[in-house]
């Protein structure tokens, strides 16, 4: 999935996923970068990421 959003919305998405999964924001950002490089991300993080992105649109 590739979503193009503003930097401000991107930070909002990171913050929401971090809060909803009780995971440090920096860890979420790392997981997204690794996922972009073909590594798997935890299902809970993926689900929250999709939900947060949907809320920004």
The pLDDT assigned to 2 comes to 56
Nearest to 27 by CA among 46, 14, 44, 8: 14
Digit-by-digit pLDDT tens for the chain (57 residues) are 556 788 899 899 999 999 999 999 999 999 888 887 877 778 888 898 889 888 887
Question: How far are the Cα atoms of 6, 7, 23, 24 from residue 44, in angstroms, in the given order?
Answer: 24, 23, 11, 14
The pLDDT assigned to 41 comes to 76
The pLDDT assigned to 3 comes to 60
The pLDDT assigned to 18 comes to 94
Whether the CB-CB separation of 29 and 40 falls below 8 Å is answered with no
Helices first, then strands: H and E counts in the chain: 3, 0
Nearest to 52 by CA among 21, 17, 28: 17
């Amino acid at each position: 999935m590739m979503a193009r959003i503003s930097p401000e919305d991107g930070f909002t998405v990171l913050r929401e996923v971090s809060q909803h999964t009780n995971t440090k924001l920096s860890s979420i950002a790392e997981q997204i970068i690794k996922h972009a490089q073909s590594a798997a991300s935890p299902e809970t993080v993926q689900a929250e990421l999709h939900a947060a992105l949907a809320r920004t649109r």
